[in-house]
Amino acid sequence: MSSIKDILRTMEYGPSPEADGDVVQWLEAHGRSFGHYIDGRFVTPKGAREIAVSDPANGGELARIACGTTDDVDAAVKAARAAFGKWSKLSGHARAKYLYAIARHVQKRSRFLAVLETMDNGKPVRETRDIDIPLVARHFYHHAGWAEMVEDEFRGFSPVGVCGQVIPWNFPLLMLAWKIAPALAAGNTVVLKPADLTPLTAIAFAEICHEVGLPAGVVNIVQGDGATGAAVCGHEGVDKVAFTGSTQVGRVIREQIAGSGKKLSLELGGKSPFIVFEDADLDAAVEGVVDAIWFNQGEVCCAGSRLLVQEGIAERFHAKLKARLETLRVGDPLDKSTDVGAIVSPVQVERISALVAKGVEEGGALWQAPAPLPEKGNYIAPGFFTDVEPASTVCQVEIFGPIAASMTFRTPDEAVALANNSRYGLAASVWSENINVALDLAARVKAGVVWINCTNMLDAGAGFGGYRESGFGREGAREGLYEYLAADWEKGLAAPKGQEAFVPSASPVGDGKVLVEGIDRTMKNYIGGKQARPDGGHSYAVTGKGGLVIGEAGIGNRKDIRNAVEAAAKAGGWGGATGHNRAQVLYYLGENLEARRAGMEALLCESTGISAKKAADEFDTALRRIFYYAAQADKFDGAVHSTQSRHVTLAMNEPFGVMGIACPDEAPLLSLVSLVLPAIAMGNRVVVAPSARHPLIAGDFYQVLDTSDVPGGVVNIVTGERDLLVKTLAEHDEVAALWYFGSAEGSAMVEKASAGNLKSTWVNNGRMPNWLDDGQGRGRDYLRRAVQVKNIWVPYGA
């Protein structure tokens, strides 16, 4: 028998199993068979195909669920639509009371939910008990507060409608809370599909909704597989889709709902860097690795799976990490002494094992915990690779298991280069005792969440979401609530009117049209601060009032767009300038535009045929827009979120980088200014496809840019067939966001073509704002769409 002294020295523990009696009793009471929760009732369709739900720890069958059909989804969407009217019209206080009641019931059943989640998912009960379930309650409490305040804090916004939500298997109940809590707080109703591997806590949650008297149809849960999820996302009665899962499926959803008008948020995969500097507290950083990659068996989208260790301490750090690896306990998830539980399914075990084998085959040195694995169940020994290259499979592909890959760096610049050498951009963790170094890295790493001297910190009060192919949109905090609200001005826009697409032609103009007298004018593209002939050498006649030819403009092609994007990418210093400096340039731009008033108003009349008074109104409004966004350049700032104790969480508005902008034919000067100015005021660089019918306005505008200290490459203009140019922008991986104001067909094309790198898009679906109306043509909504929020967790206090 071991003495206490020996136990303290070896840290060996005996088994300490968590009781599962209540969960087993609950399963038996339901006959270990579950259906859907639709319109306030638990229903199991007759003859439904069933899916077996297994316990990852031992492979035994826990229950069976009905696989939802299109009819089941249709019933759920109809119930949600019927409930939306009354639910959305309730006062915020009334909705808050329901959310508060849900939070309280989650707390009162916390141990039951923790055990059920562990049995269903395989994660250690220590994690479900101490992390998952408390965060579930926290999200409902937090959003009960937003429900109370939404009418005051989000004036000019209203609920989207029926929300279709699809969640993954790695945090089943927590992901449910992330989706349902903000949707209900904003006044929406929900149809949610849980993962078929881990559906049980969703049923328990539905029972809680029933207990608190949540009105029928407000929350509907349809069980099923991938086909069921596709039916939810694609249903014509769904107004908003929220998905958490793999990048591959996110891309499919983006393409599936393109052109439907549905709002979309995607929280996808990651390959997050974990950066350790020489001056870091190495013991703390080692424990950080435990929390970064071996927490939840590494089945975490923001897992710190790429270790970047400064060269001078790499050998020492790896030695400490190997020693810590040997103490990890792998085994029964219901044992409160277990550190690493079971992988969710045999299929996932096979996938992880194949990637690990690939890492070894490519020359990586694999270090794994030496402890024997249980004979039954789905287990992978935690570990990490050394001797790998940045391009190695294990450094690029999301393993989604308890395996990290470690590389070294010498300088902060090299650390940033390695950290950003990924198609993902979900999270990052920086370890240094030098706060200047840490904050500098936090600003330069392309990630939606950055933890300093900590990792995997989550809270309802801080937004969570990624850059690049980690998706777009945020969950949690103020920025997350916007995902479930729609601007009233957009919802009120008139339905699109059919308009024949304008296709520029290089053919000579016939039909007796006469050139306006004067010097021939042929407009070039504007790329990198210089006028440039189109690559194809073609131009087209620009006609104005009365069908007269008033000049020519270039017909741009794919290479022109590529050149413009390259020029925009090189102008990164604009995003690094202070808001004050950008504001000065924009004020100067307005000053120089005013000097060209007479010529610009005359061109508006000549080009579009509008009256002199309307031309003056358009010019005056455009000038005010420039000054408005110059004023906002140093005032549209971030926030400090109230999250967990001893942390300041900075929500920083960051520019996307390179943005594409497609302008309409309507109000060619004003719409150009209204779209370009908020983007560059926030530090973006833009590639603009101006009005194809009235391109000469953009030609005069770039002459103003030339005299206004706007750095070359910040604004690039390529004329030609708008939708053809925009398709190239949508497909370009260097373009991080794209705004399109044109036809409904063009909007659908943009959303579908953007699926390649999952860029953020804003399209008008053919519904055109009144650009002269400040409520529609300008405002903080434009600025909000021109940035992505980075949440930086900074230790604060003792």
The whole-angstrom separation of Cα 404 and Cα 779 is: 44
Half-sphere exposure of 567 (CA within 13 A, CB side): 26
Candidates 453, 439, 417, 471; CA nearest to 788 is 471
| Number of neighbours of residue 410 by Cβ within 10 angstroms | 10
Beta-ladder partners of 790: 652
What DSSP line would sit under 103-132, residue for residue?
Answer: HHHHHHTHHHHHHHHHHHH---HHHIIIII
32 CB-contact burial (10 Å; exposed 0-12 / middle 13-18 / buried 19+): middle
Other beta carbons within 10 Å of 734? 15
Q: Where are the beta strands (DSSP E) in 342-382?
A: 365-368
Interacting residues of 537 by C-beta distance below 8 A, sequence separation 6+: none
751 counts as catalytic: no
Question: How far is Cα of residue 494 from the mean position of the Cα atoms in its chain?
Answer: 29
Compute how many other C-beta atoms are within 10 angstroms of the C-beta atom of residue 795: 14
- 207 is an active site residue: no
Cross-strand partners of 38:
41
| CA–CA distance, 681 with 613 (Å, rounded to integer) | 29
- Rounded distance, CA 424 to CA 271, Å? 6
User: What are phi and psi for residue 26, nearest 5 degrees?
Assistant: -65, -45
How many CA atoms are closer than 13 Å to the CA of 336, on its beta-carbon side?
9
Question: Which residues, 6+ apart, have CB-to-CB distance to 598 below 8 Å?
Answer: none
Residue of 117, 148, 267, 751 marked active site: 267
Q: For residues 411-447, b (16+ Cβ closer than 10 Å) or e, as one string?
A: ebeebbebbbbbebbbbbbbbbeeeebbbebbebbbb
Which position among 163, 209, 233, 301 bears the catalytic label?
301
How would you classify residue 217: left for phi > 0, otherwise alpha for psi between -120 and 50, otherwise beta?
Answer: left
Residue numbers annotated as active site: 267, 301
